[in-house]
Amino acid sequence: MIGFLHQTLSGLATGAIYAAVALALVMVYRATHHLNFAQGEMATFSTYIALSLIQAGAPYWVAFVLTALFSFVLGFALERLLLRRFAEAPGLTAVGVSIGLLLIFNALSGWLFGFTVKQFPSPFESGGVVLGGLVSAHEIGMVGVTLIVLLAVYAFFRFTPLGLAMRAAAANPASSRLVGIRVGRMLALGWGLAAVLGSIAGMMVAPVVFLDPNMMFGILLYAFAGALLGGIDNPAGAVIGGFAVGVIENLGGAYLVGTELKLTLALIIIAAVLVLRPAGLFGRIVVARV
Amino acid sequence: MPALLDIRDLHAGYGAGEVLHGIALSVESGGVTALLGANGAGKTTTLRAICGMLPRSGEISFDGARIDAATTEAIARSGIAHVPDGRGTFLDLTVEENMRLGAYIRRDRGVAADIARFCALFPVLGARFHQQAGTLSGGEQQMLAIARALLSRPRLLLLDEPSFGLAPLIVQQLFATLAQIRAESGIGILLVEQNAGLALDFADHACILEAGRIALAGTAAALAADAQVRRVYLGY
Amino acid sequence: MNARRTALWLFGAALLVAPAFLMSGYRLFQLTSMAVYAVAILGLDIVTGYTGQVSLGHGAFYAIGAYTGAILMTQFGWPYWATLPAGGAAAALVGYAVGFPALRLTGPYLALVTYALAVAVPQILRARALESWTGGAQGIVVTAPDPPAFLPLSQDAYLYLFTLAVAALLFLLARNMLSGRQLRAMIAVRDHALAAEAAGIDIARVKTRAFAVSAGITGVAGALGAIVVQFVAPDSFAATLSIALFVGLVVGGSASLPGALAGAAFVQFVPNLAETVNKSAPGVIYGVLLVAALYLMPSGVAGALRRTLPARLRTSTSPGKATPLPNKGATIHVD
């Protein structure tokens, strides 16, 4: 029973990471109707930036904020300088470009920061064991930071004029232009915010899984599974889906398939959602639309 | 005084097919120009061309400045509000959010008061303030679209078939409201309308589009008195 | 077929066969594995190029074909040539199962589920439960076939010619398949989904069948690859293989059969060359070229050639001419 509880809590902790990345994916998907396969590698690259800042002597939270800012600029600039040119492109091109970015960021991470596995500091380690050893201080902190960020994102979209404009631009670009919203800029903002979410997920998960150029590879897949489970066009669903996938992964890994087939579990979740409920738990039905 | 909106030799179309073959029209400050014509004559295309929603060439001046090369969002920001064909409702957002988006370009403090005013004007919008706009009926969405357009405090309003889908009584109310707003704010209106009688009553000037060209233009009263216009468009 | 075309065909065939007699060792092996990649990319082309559905998991089908072949040869004593259809069938079956749920839907679902497949398959191959079949992380060593006694050829040369023959056969099959009704249905599905549906084409079925055929061809390539490399192991089939095939397809030119060849040359030679510069260089080059290719020549190398070559030459060198549409703006609208 203790083991089960431990696995569940630990699953919720990694689920927080999946939730953040899933939300990033859904944000880009809603605005562009394309999946950003490079989301994970961009996050890894940002995490390396954070490590460099920390190694250069920056206090953790300063590095954290600077990295988030850097990631925002990175995402924003990518959209403005590169992706904008492919805005009207068909699915093959869109997937191709994001795969291209995946390759570039993966290679850049290795090139600039090396291929060896690196340790990444946690700001929460000092607290030691929490809740009778069921979860680590870092896991608690990881969930806390992610929840704060997710709430901030929610508040931004729900309560600010800019957030409203971004939602409008994603849902209905033509009408948005007619009310004076600069749709292109909203798209770039969305990419920037998605990159920020990814970078925070990267910085939070790196102390657990260690940092190497392929760190986010599997995490991206779980985030996809979470996003699909919650509904690929539903931000709240993606967050819930991310947490759910974290728990499923941990319990499934512990009691069903073993850790060596954990990634297969993501494939099974994705396939199962597509077969049973393609719109996800909270999304809209997309079957047989042409 | 120069016209608020002045269009000369406007060509526009969709891809390879040109729909407008060099039209000219103008809207006076505080005036109403009606644009009449059969289906497919190019009325909606004219409004879209003004807003930069499709490729166009020619001269479009708004308030003395050329806008024929500007983007749609820049045109909207310069003070032109468009109630588009199909209403352009943000279906996933609430009525309130739709209205707030209408006022997106405003930076003054009067937005909340204006929203309250339009809720009073169109009570159904107030009653459904927090509902998704997609749940509104067609007529209700039309009111929302007009409220959204006016909330930007435009100097020029482009109306594409505002009476479409509305009950006659509501149409009367709507045009009374528009007249009131026009009297208060001195807004110019370019009105595309199937209901020619209604449009000519409301407008000071009118143009008749036929196959992408202006076939007839003049004061609304003169057109309403024209025998051919009466026969073809007014049906008496 | 007039004399001129016949001459060109013979010349082309001679050009392809010649290396078997002029080269040996590693160089010949490289050409052999390039031919294998060409078949794998041909498979991918059928679904991604012709139906506009993106697959990021063809490395997995390649792996399924390779393992099927290797297991049949080592544990069941099948002759090497018989493993090719079996490897293809196994991959086609998995392709059908994975493709069916995704292809009922409009959207990026196939890309997603195939990506998951690409990431998961190496793990499955490594799994302890399957170790008695797959050899776990160690993989399976396959004995290369000896040339038939009546052929005075080295083993390398024979493998090259055998691969070439299989590749030629599959290209011809694909060409025939892509020249008739089937192709028109596929292109209609790609470009005008709604109209295709109205015309009575069952879109999901056309797509799923195309996907199964596509996975099957790549599976044959996998089985072929197992024979050529004489070794299969999970690490050979990481997700990067799927991505490499995809890059090869795009850079070579989708919806074009010669494009598969160009893509195969790219996949075979570019990473090796780039790796001499820097361990990261292949990734950067792949990524940059992929994005650049999509931007500059949306129909790939083959498409660029098709536009620049004189029409006279084109008719004989471009069996893919049945698909005049470049892929820009030519897929099902994803909404």
Task: Tell me the nearest-neighbour CA distance from A209 into chain C, angstroms.
Answer: 18
**Cα distance between residue C40 and residue C44, in whole Å:** 7
**Cα distance between residue A278 and residue A44, in whole Å:** 29
**Cα distance between residue A90 and residue A184, in whole Å:** 18
Looking at the fold, whether B32 and B68 belong to one and the same domain comes out as yes
Looking at the fold, whether B140 and B171 belong to one and the same domain comes out as no
**Cα distance between residue C224 and residue C84, in whole Å:** 6
C204 in any annotated domain: yes
Instruction: Judge whether residue C63 has pLDDT over 90.
Output: yes
pLDDT at C298: 61
Concatenating the DSSP letter of every residue in C274-326 gives HHTT-TTHHHHHHHHHHHHHHHH-TTHHHHHHHHHS-HHHHHHH-GGGG----
pLDDT at B24: 93
**Which of B136, B152, B168 corresponds to the end of one domain?**
B152
Q: What are phi and psi of B36, to 5 degrees?
A: -110, 165
- Reported as a single tens digit per residue, the pLDDT across C94-132 is 999 988 888 888 778 899 999 999 999 998 998 888 888
Instruction: Judge whether residue C189 has pLDDT over 60.
Output: yes
Looking at beta carbons, which residues of chain B come within 8 Å of A179? 76, 81, 101-102, 104-105, 148, 152
Looking at the fold, whether B7 and B42 belong to one and the same domain comes out as yes
Q: Rounded mean pLDDT of C187-200?
A: 71
Core vs surface per residue C292-306: b (16+ CB within 10 A) or e: ebbbebbbbbbbbbb
What SS3 state is found at C61? helix
B97 touches A: beta carbon within 8 Å: yes
C333 in any annotated domain: no
Residue C307, both tokens: 């536009």
pLDDT at C322: 34
> Chains with 3 or more CB pairs closer than 8 angstroms to B?
A
Does A264 contact C112 at a Cβ distance shorter than 8 Å?
A: no
CA distances from A176 to B103, B132, B187 (A): 12, 17, 22
B92 touches A: beta carbon within 8 Å: yes
Q: Exposed, middle or buried by CB within 10 Å (0-12, 13-18, 19+), for C38?
A: buried
> Among residues B79, C262, B81, C226, which one has the least CA distance to residue C270?
C262
- Reported as a single tens digit per residue, the pLDDT across B183-217 is 888 899 999 988 888 889 899 999 999 989 998 89
Give the count of domains, chain C. Answer: 1
What SS3 state is found at B32? strand
For C52, nearest residue in chain A (alpha carbons): A92
DSSP assigned state of B234: I
Looking at beta carbons, which residues of chain B come within 8 Å of A174? 53, 84, 88
C127 in any annotated domain: yes
For A180, nearest residue in chain B (alpha carbons): B73
> Among residues B29, B78, B69, which one has the least CA distance to residue B49?
B69
Instruction: Judge whether residue C321 has pLDDT over 50.
Output: no
Residue A16, both tokens: 């927080």
Is the model more confident about C260 or about C277?
C260
Q: Rounded mean pLDDT of C311-317?
A: 38
pLDDT at B230: 80
Concatenating the DSSP letter of every residue in B164-232 gives TT--HHHHHHHHHHHHHHHHHH--EEEEE-S-HHHHHHH-SEEEEEETTEEEEEEEHHHHHH-HHHIII
Looking at the fold, whether B135 and B18 belong to one and the same domain comes out as no
CATH code of residue C275: 1.10.3470
pLDDT at A151: 95
What is the span of the domain harbouring residue B117? Answer: 88-152
- Reported as a single tens digit per residue, the pLDDT across C20-30 is 778 778 888 88
**Cα distance between residue C271 and residue C292, in whole Å:** 17
Does A165 contact B101 at a Cβ distance shorter than 8 Å?
A: yes
pLDDT at C132: 84
Looking at the fold, whether B117 and B186 belong to one and the same domain comes out as no
- Which segments of chain A have a pLDDT < 50? 286-290
Q: Rounded mean pLDDT of C285-296?
A: 86
pLDDT at B76: 95
Instruction: Judge whether residue B133 has pLDDT over 80.
Output: yes
What is the span of the domain harbouring residue C89? Answer: 28-145+152-322
Instruction: Judge whether residue C301 has pLDDT over 60.
Output: no
> Among residues C220, C218, C304, which one has the least CA distance to residue C254?
C304
pLDDT at A131: 64
CB C328, CB C298: distance < 8 Å: yes
CATH code of residue B57: 3.40.50.300
- Reported as a single tens digit per residue, the pLDDT across C33-50 is 899 999 999 999 888 887
User: Can you say how many angstroms the Cα of residue A267 is from the centroid of all Cα atoms in its chain?
Assistant: 18
C92 in any annotated domain: yes
Does B148 contact A179 at a Cβ distance shorter than 8 Å?
A: yes
Instruction: Judge whether residue C319 has pLDDT over 60.
Output: no
Instruction: Judge whether residue C135 has pLDDT over 60.
Output: yes
- Reported as a single tens digit per residue, the pLDDT across B8-49 is 999 998 877 889 999 999 999 989 999 998 888 899 999 999
Residue C182, both tokens: 């089937």
**What band does C177 get if pLDDT is binned at 50, 70 and 90?**
confident
Looking at the fold, whether B227 and B128 belong to one and the same domain comes out as no
Q: Rounded mean pLDDT of B74-99?
A: 93
Q: Give Cβ neighbours of residue C119 (< 8 Å, ≥ 6 apart).
A: A217, A218, A221, A263, A266, A267, C239
Interface test with C, best of A103, A220, A287 (most C CBs within 10 A): A103
**Which of B137, B152, B167 corresponds to the end of one domain?**
B152
Interface test with A, best of C103, C299, C334 (most A CBs within 10 A): C334
Looking at the fold, whether B174 and B57 belong to one and the same domain comes out as yes
Looking at the fold, whether B55 and B171 belong to one and the same domain comes out as yes
B90 touches A: beta carbon within 8 Å: yes
Give the count of domains, chain B. Answer: 2
Radius of gyration for the alpha carbons in chain A, expressed in angstroms and rounded: 19
Does A100 contact C288 at a Cβ distance shorter than 8 Å?
A: yes
For C121, nearest residue in chain A (alpha carbons): A264
Looking at beta carbons, which residues of chain A come within 8 Å of C298? 93
Looking at the fold, whether B25 and B117 belong to one and the same domain comes out as no
C54 in any annotated domain: yes
Tally C-beta pairs within 8 A across A and B. Answer: 63
**What band does C32 get if pLDDT is binned at 50, 70 and 90?**
very high
Looking at the fold, whether B73 and B161 belong to one and the same domain comes out as yes
- CB contacts under 8 A, C 197-226 vs A, are 197, 203-204
The full set of domains in chain A, from first to last, is 2-276 (1.10.3470)
